[in-house]
Structure 1
Amino acid sequence: MWKRVGIDRDFALIFVLLLLFASLLVRFFIIQVGEEEKWSSLAKKQHYLTLALPHKRGVFYSNTEIKYGQPHEKVPFVVDVMKYHLYIDPKLMPTGFKDEIIGALAGFLGRDPHAADFRKDFFLRSRSRKVAAFLSHAEADKIESWWNEYARKHNIPKTVVYFQKDFRRLYPFGSLLGQVLHTVRLDRDPHTFASIPTGGLEQYFNTVLSGKDGKRTLLRSPHYKMEADTEDSPPVAGCDIYLTVNHTLQAIAERELEKGVKRARAKGGWCVVMDPHTGHILATAQYPFFNPENYNEYYNDAAKTADTKPKCITDCFEPGSPMKPLMLALALKANEVRREKHLSPVFDPEAKMETMPVMFAGRAIPVKDVRNHKYLNMKMAIQKSSNVYPAKVTELVIKTMAISWLRNQLEMVFGFGTPTQVELSGENKGYVPTPGKILPSGLMEWSLPTPYSLAMGYNLMTNSLQMARAFSVIANGGYLVTPTLVKKIVRHTEAGEEEVFFRERPKTKVLSKKICRSILEAMKYSTKPGGSAHLADVFGYTEAGKTGTSEKIVDGQYSKSVHFSSFVGIIPAKKPRFVIYVCLDEPEKKWIEGYGMNHFGGKRPAETFRAIATDALEYLGVMRDDPYGRPSQDPRFDPQKADWYPEVKELTKLYDEWNH
C-alpha cells in the first residue's frame, strides 16, 4: 500500500516537470517567434544607437535674372549651415570618471562644472541627454579630438559622448525681407522631429522645403571605433525656391522706407514694388524690421510681435485719394458700355464740371475740396486731387449703370474684396460693401452716401498689395494680374539632376487700353508743377502717380489728427517697369516751414517713392526716357522738351480760364 503511494508521487513529480518544461518550450517559442521583433528591437536599443542624419532644407534664392546682361549668379536669402548637438550617454558613462568628464566638457562649452543644471544630466539613468546645441564645426572638432584620446586611454565606449548633426537657418542679409521669409524654430516637433516654421514663406512652403532625414547607426561597445559607423540611408534635401524678389531692390526699398518713416515720425510703414506686367513682386519692405534669426526676441515681446507680420497683406485700410483715378476709370468703362449700346456716355472727361462744395443724398455735410475750384475736368481733378469731381461722376454712373454694376466692377476689374492669391498666409482680403446686405449692427452695408464715399476712397478696406495690383491694371494696359513671390521651384533628384516647376499665374483683360492710357496720362499731372505730388517727380524719367491722405477711425470716429498716408507711382510712365506703393502709418501731423504738412501723401511717401524709383532704375540700367526733365536750376532742364511740361502748361492755362 505504501509502495503504491510512492509510485503515484513519482508520476506526479514527473508530470509537473514535464509541464514546466513544456511551458518553457512554449515561452521560448513565443519569445523566439511570436515576440521576435519586440525583443530584437530591445536588444538593438541596448547595443546600437540610431541617429537621424538631418536633411538640408530648401533655400530661397534672389531674382538675379531681372538685371539684363549680367551673370545670373545664385544669391541666397537664407542658407542652411551644418551645426552639431553634443550628447552624452549617462548610463554607460563610468561613475568614477564623471566628474573629470564634466569638468572637461564644461571647459569646452564655457559652463560652470559645478552648476546643478549642467551636472544633473550626467547622473540620470538615461541613454541619451543633450548637453549643448548648435556647436560650430571647430567647437565640435576640439571636443571630439579630446574625447577620442580620453576614451581610448580609459577604455570607455566612445559613444558615451557623441554628436548629432543638424542644420541651422542663417540669414546673410540679416533682417532683409524678414517678414516675408520668416524662419524655423530652433526646437523641433517632439513627435516627428520636423522643423516648425514661424510664418511667412517658410510656413507656406513647408512641405516643399522639407526633405527627408537619413539614418546612421552606432554600436555601443568599448571596442567600437567612431569612424566605423554605418549610414543606413542618406538624407534627401528639400526643394529650392527662386523668388521674384531681387536682393538689391529689396535693400534699396528697405533703406529708403526706413528714412521715410523716421522723417515722418510715423508709427511704421511698408511698400510694394511690383512688375505690372507679370505680377512679380520685386521688393516688399516694412519698417520696423524683423530679423528672423532673433525670432524669440519678437515673439516674447507683445510690442514687437506685430512687426513679424507682412503688413502689405495682413493690414487693411481705407485708401483715400488713390481710389479717385480708379473710380474714374470705371466711369470711362461705363462710357464704353453705353456707346456699344448706342447710348449717350455717362460723362465727358474733357468737359468742365462745376466742383464747388455740394451736398449728396444721405450725407450730413457737403463734399468739398481742400481748396475750392469752380470748374474742373478729369485731368484737373486728378491733378488737384478733387473730392467733388469723382463724387459727382460716380453719382452719374449709378444713375445710368445701377449700383450693382459699380459694385461688381470694383471686384471684377480691380480685384477689391478678393484675395490676391500671393504665397503668404494670413491675407486680409479687405471689404467692399454689398447692396442689400445687413451688418450685425442692423445697418445696411451699402447706404445712400456709400457711392460718394467710395469715390473718395472711404467705406472700403484694401490691403497694399491689392492697391498695387489695381494700379498694375492701369500700367499694363488693362490686365488684372495675379501677384506672386515665386519664379520657380527646383527639386534635386538622386541622380544629380534638377526638376524645375513653374506655376502659371493667370491674368484677365478687364479694361481697354484706351481707358488705361487716359487715366495714366491724367496721373502724370500729379507729379508736375501744379500737382499734389511734385516731390515724386523722378528726374530723368517719366512717371505717373497719386497721393493719398486718409483719416483713420479712432474710438468709432474719423480722426483729424491720425492718418494713413500713401503714394502710388507708375514708372517709367511710357514703358512701365514698376508699380510702387508706399504707405506710412500715422505720420506726425505738423506744419513744417518751407515744406508743408508733414502727414500729407504728397510729402514723405512721395519722397520715398522717388528715392526708391531712382536707385532701382539706375541699378537695373533702365535708360532715361525724359532726359530734359530735371530740376529747374539744372542746366539740362528744358521746359519745351521735358516730358509733360507743355501739357501741364496748357492745362494750367485752361484751369485759369475756367476758375479766374
Structure 2
Amino acid sequence: MSFLPRVVALNRKSFVRTRTRKWGADGRLAVQGVNKRSGARAGNRVALLMIGFVVLYGAVGARMAQYGMERNDDTASVAPPNRLLASRPDILDRNGRVLATDIRTVSLYAEPRKIVDVDDAVEKLSSVLPSLDRKTLYHKLKANSAFQWIKRQLTPKQQSRILALGVPGIGFRPETRRFYPAGATTSHIVGFVNIDNNGIAGMEKYIDRQGLSALAGAGLTVDQKMQPVRLSIDLRVQHIVRDELLAGMKKFNAIGAGAVVLKVDTGEVIALASVPDFNPNNPVHAQDKNRLNRMTAGTYEMGSVFKTFTTAMALDTGVANLKSSYDASHPLRIGGFLIHDFHNMHRALTVPEVFIHSSNIGSAREALDVGIPRQKAFLKRLGLLTRMNTELPEVATPFTPKVWKPVNSATVAFGHGLNTTPLQTAVAAAALMNGGKFMEPTFLPRTEKQAMAVSKQVVKPQTAKDMRYLFRLNVMHGSGGNADVQGYRVGGKTGTADKVVNGRYSKSKNFNSFLAAFPVDDPKYVVLVSIDEPHRAEGEWGFTAGFNAAPMVGAIIRRSASALGVDPKFAVNDAATLVSQSTLSD
C-alpha cells in the first residue's frame, strides 16, 4: 500500500468512536453513534493534505517547465534540431536587393565526460578562441554533464584550427545564422535575431509574429526554402538618407538624427533611418539608450512643424481662409502665461504670414478660434493622438495633455505640450499633401488601389491645395529656403523645439525638424528630418531648423529624386503657378 492510501485508511479508523454502549434486543452490542465533529475535522485534514500534494507537485512541474523554456548559451542541454537549423525567409527591398538572408555555420560544443585532460583542453581552445573566459570554460569542461555549448557560430577558419587541435570530447553542430548584407544601413527597419534565430526587433520580429515562430517550433521550417518577404524600402534611397544623417550629425555636433521618406499616395515608407544605429550582424549595442529608433520609438515635441496642422485645422473648419488675419502685435496672455513670437512682426498677420513667419501668437489664436473639442478631433483624425498602427513593433504612444485647457490648446497649436513620433508627423502631413486622405504607414509594398481601400478622407481637398501653396511659399519666402532644390519645387515647414530638461524648457538644447513635400504642386513624397541637440556649424550664425534640418532635407531630395523617379521641371513663374492653384480670393 502506497503512502497516501495508508494515511487515508489510518485516518478513517480513527474517525469512528463510540459515545455510549447499548445492548440490542438480540443481545448484541450496538454502536449508539459516531463522533461527527471529530470525523469532519479529520476529513478536512485529508483534504488539506491532498491539496498540499497537488501544490507541491504543481510547483515542481512549473519549475521544470520554466527550465525547459529557458534559452541560455551556457546550458548543458542540446538544442533541438528545429531550432538550430530552422530557416527564415529572405528579406528584400522593393527592387529585390537582399536585406537579410540565412547562411550555414557551425557551433562548438563539448562532452565533458569524454574530456581526458581539462587543463590541456582549456589551454588549446583558448589559443584559438581568446575571447572565451578561461574560468567559465574550465567549469563547463569539468561539469558532470553530457553536453555543453562552448562557442556559437564559428567562422570556417576557427573551425579548421580547432579541428587541428585534436581535442577529444569536442565537436561541432551545424546551425543557421542570419546575415544582413546592408549592415547598419537598414538596422532599425529590418531589426535582428537572437542566437537561436528568433526575431526580436524590427521586421524580423514582425515576421515571427505572423506565424513563423510557431512553424519553427513545430519543426516545419528546417531546411525549407521560404518565400522571401519584400519590403517597401528602396535600399538606394535608404543609403542616401543614412549618409546625410551621419554627415549632418557630425557637422552640427548633434547627439542624434532621424529621417523618413514617405510615398504620399500609398503610405509606403521608402526610407527610414535613425542614427546612431547598430550593426545587426553583431547587435551588442542595439539596446543602448541613444541608439533607439527616434522616428518610431521616440516621442518629441515637434515645435513649429505642428503649425502645419494648426493652420490646416483653421482652414478646414472654416474659421479662417488665406485672407484672414490675426493680431500678433503684442504677446498673447492666457491665464498666467504669456505667448511670444520668436520673430515679432508687431502687427496683424494674414494666415500665410502666420505660417511663413512661424508666429506662435497667430497659431495660438487660430486654435482658440477653432476650440478645444474640434482641435482634438482634428488631430485625432490625422493620427497624432493615438499609437500608430504599422508593421514595425517599436512604436511609441504619443503623450498628450491629461486636461485640455485653453493654455494647452494654445501651446499645442505651436508644437509644445504634445509629444508624437516623427513618423506620425510625416504621415499626418502626407494626408495634407495627397488631397486629404489619411492612411497608416506601411513597410510592405502597397498599390494605390490598396491604399485607397484603407484610406480615410480627413480634410477637404481644398484644404490640401491651400497647404501645398503655403508649403511652397515658406520655402521661397520663409524659413525653409535652405531646403530648396532647383527643379523639384520643394515645400515645407521648419520646427525648432526647446527640449525639456529636468522639468524645464532648455534654452540651449533643441529638437529641430524640417517637414517637406516635393514636387509640391503635385506631391509624390514627404520627407521629414529631425536632428537632436544640434549646435551652430562653423561658418553659420543660426542654430534653428532652417540652418540644419532644412539643408539636410535638401541634400536628401537632391540625391534621391532621380532614384525615386521624379523628373526636374524648371518654371520661371513658380510662385505665380502656385498662387493660381490656391484660394487667395474668397
Give the Cα separation in 2 of the matches to 1:115 and 1:327. Answer: 63
1-side partners of 2:302 and 2:131: how far apart? Answer: 58
Offset of residue 284 of structure 1: 0.9
1:619 aligns with 2:550: no
1:605 and 2:578 equivalent? no
Tell me, in whole angstroms, the C-alpha distance in 1 between the residues paired with 2:484 and 2:322.
Answer: 25
1:408 corresponds to: 377
- Count of equivalent residues: 499
Whole-angstrom distance in 2 between the partners of 1:145 and 1:49: 26
Q: For residues 188-199 of structure 1, what are the structure 2 equivalents within 5 Å?
A: 188=196, 195-199=197-201
Q: How does 1:444-523 map to 2 (within 5 A)?
A: 445-487=403-445, 506-523=454-471
Residue 270 of structure 1, CA deviation: 0.8
Cα deviation, residue 254, structure 1: 0.5
Task: In structure 1, give the amino acid aligned to 2:468.
Answer: L
Could you tell me how far apart the structure 2 residues matched to 1:532 and 1:170 are? 44
Amino acid of the structure 1 residue aligned with 2:541: G
**Inter-CA distance 409–113: structure 2 relative to 1 (3 Å threshold):** closer
- Is 2:292 the partner of 1:309? yes
Deviation at 1:597, TM superposition (A): 1.3
Give secondary structure in 1 for the equivalent of 2:561: helix
Instruction: Output the TM-score relative to the length of structure 2.
Output: 0.76
Match of 1:284 among 266, 272, 284: 272
Report what 1:374 is aligned to: 347
Asked whether 1:173 is paired with 2:120, we answer no
CA contact (8 A) 1:481 1:507 kept: yes
**Where do residues 343-422 of structure 1 align in structure 2 (5 Å cutoff)?**
346-398=319-371, 403-412=372-381, 414-422=382-390
Task: Give the Å deviation of 1:83.
Answer: 0.5
CA 1:268–1:645 in 2, change beyond 3 Å: closer, same or farther?
farther
Change in CA separation of 1:58 and 1:513 when aligned onto 2, cut-off 3 Å: same
Residue 176 of structure 1 aligns with an amino acid whose one-letter code is T
CA contact (8 A) 1:57 1:239 kept: no
Which residue does the alignment assign to 2:315? 332
Which whole-Å deviations, capped at 9, do the CAs of 1:291-345 have from their partners, x for residues lacking one?
Answer: 222322454xxxxx1134222122212212112231121112211xxxxxxxxxx
* Equivalent position amino acid for 1:163 in 2: F
Letter paired with 1:410: L
**Of the candidates 76, 81, 98, which is equivalent to residue 76 of structure 1?**
98
Structure 1 residue 123: deviation in Å?
5.4
Alignment counterpart, residue 391 of structure 2, candidates 412, 423, 433: 423
Query: 2: CA distance between counterparts of 1:456 and 1:386?
Result: 8
Name 1:183's counterpart in structure 2: 192
| Structure-2 separation of matches of 1:611 and 1:372 | 31
Superposition pairs for residues 626-645 of structure 1, below 5 Å? 627-628=570-571, 641-644=572-575
Picking from 85, 104, 115, the partner of 1:54 is 85
**Does 2:507 align with 1:571?**
no
1:358-379: per-residue Cα shift (whole Å, max 9, x none)?
Answer: 4343243244351315233222
Residue identity opposite 1:181 in structure 2: V
Could you give the per-residue CA deviations for residues 269-294 of structure 1, whole angstroms, max 9, x where no partner exists? 11111111111111111111222223
Q: Note the C-alpha offset of 1:428.
A: 2.1
Which deviations, in whole Å up to 9, do the C-alpha atoms of 1:577-621 show, x marking residues without a partner?
Answer: 211111111112x5966x3312x1111100000011111112234
Q: Does 1:541 align with 2:488?
A: yes
Q: Distance in 2 between matches of 1:601 and 1:100?
A: 62
Identify if the C-alpha distance between structure 1 residues 85 and 608 changes in structure 2 by more than 3 Å, giving closer, same or farther. Answer: same
Contact 1:54–1:213 (8 Å) recurs in 2:
no
Gaps of 5+ in 1: 1-47, 65-73, 152-159, 189-194, 216-231, 300-304, 336-345, 434-438, 440-444, 489-501, 629-640, 655-660
Whole-Å separation in 1 of the counterparts to 2:333 and 2:120: 85
Q: Secondary structure at the match of 2:183?
A: coil
Does the C-alpha gap of structure 1 residues 375 and 85 become closer, same or farther in structure 2, counting only changes over 3 Å?
same
1:127 corresponds to 2:146 = yes
Task: State percent identity of aligned pairs.
Answer: 24
Q: Secondary structure at the match of 2:420?
A: coil
- Decide whether aligned partners of structure 1 residues 89 and 316 sit closer, same or farther in structure 2, where only a CA change above 3 A counts: closer
The alignment partner of 2:177 has SS state of strand
One-letter amino acid of the structure 1 residue matched with residue 417 of structure 2: N
Structure 1 329/124 Cα, relative in aligned 2: closer, same or farther at 3 Å? closer
**1:113–1:76 CA distance, 2 compared to 1 (3 A):** closer
Distance in 2 (CA, whole Å) between partners of 1:142 and 1:504 is: 59
Amino acid at match of 2:343: V
Whole-angstrom CA distance in 1 between matches of 2:415 and 2:189 = 28
- Amino acid in structure 1 at the alignment position of 2:426: A
CA distance in structure 1 between the partners assigned to 2:304 and 2:369 by the alignment:
19
Classify 1:146/1:287 alpha carbon distance in 2 versus 1 (closer, same or farther; 3 Å): closer
- The answer as to whether partners of 1:257 and 1:608 remain within 8 angstroms in 2 is yes
Q: What is the Cα deviation at residue 137 of structure 1?
A: 4.4
Q: Residue 369 of structure 1 contacts residue 388 of structure 1 at CA under 8 Å; is this kept in 2?
A: no
**Judging changes above 3 Å, is the alpha-carbon distance between structure 1 residues 446 and 166 closer, same or farther for their aligned structure 2 residues?**
same
What secondary structure sits across from 1:63 in the alignment?
Answer: coil
Report deviation, 1:162.
3.8
Q: Which runs of 5+ in 2 are unaligned?
A: 1-77
RMSD (Å), alpha carbons: 3.6
Distance 2:415 2:386 in 1: 17
- 1:136 is displaced (CA, Å) by 3.4
Cα deviation 1:88-133 (Å, max 9, x = unaligned): 444457x5xx689949974994569996755665555433333443
The residue number in structure 2 matching 1:265 is 253
Is contact 2:332-2:361 (8 Å) kept?
no
CA deviation string 1:244-271 (max 9, x = no partner) = 1111111100000111122222221111
Alpha-carbon offset, residue 421 of structure 1: 0.6
Q: Distance in 2 between matches of 1:315 and 1:291?
A: 20
